[in-house]
Amino acid sequence: MKTLKLRIKDKHCKMLDQLASEVNFVWNYVNDLCFKHLKRTGHFFSAYDVNEYTSGTSKLCNLHSQTIQAITEELVTRRKQFKKAKLKWRVSNK
């Protein structure tokens, strides 16, 4: 397997920071949604269940719908892996 090493130019930093901020926003929203659902019903959301609540989000932010689905799948996977009801919030520094 070959690994390519690329340097990202400084002109792309603002766009990447904005995308990272939007990813953190989606992560925090899904994390809060899952925790509130767990408190109300006592059951965990699956990634499929969360996708119904995040449909249409790609129209509001600059993320593709597959990216949003990958974020929800990752959150559900990590929540199961670490056996936590709520994961840590993600914060954008800028």
Q: Token digits for 61? A: 């932010």
- pLDDT by 10s per residue, the chain, length 94: 899 888 888 888 899 999 999 999 999 999 999 999 999 999 999 999 999 999 999 999 999 999 999 999 999 999 999 999 999 998 887 5
Q: For residue 74, is it within any domain?
A: yes
DSSP 60-79: HSSS-HHHHHHHHHHHHHHH
Q: For residue 39, is it within any domain?
A: yes
User: What's the pTM value of the predicted model, to 2 decimals?
Assistant: 0.85
Looking at the 3D structure of the chain, how many domains does it have? 1
Q: For residue 7, is it within any domain?
A: no
- Domain of 33, in residue numbers: 14-82
Beta strands in 1-94 (DSSP E): none
- Torsion 25-27-29-31 (CA) sign: negative
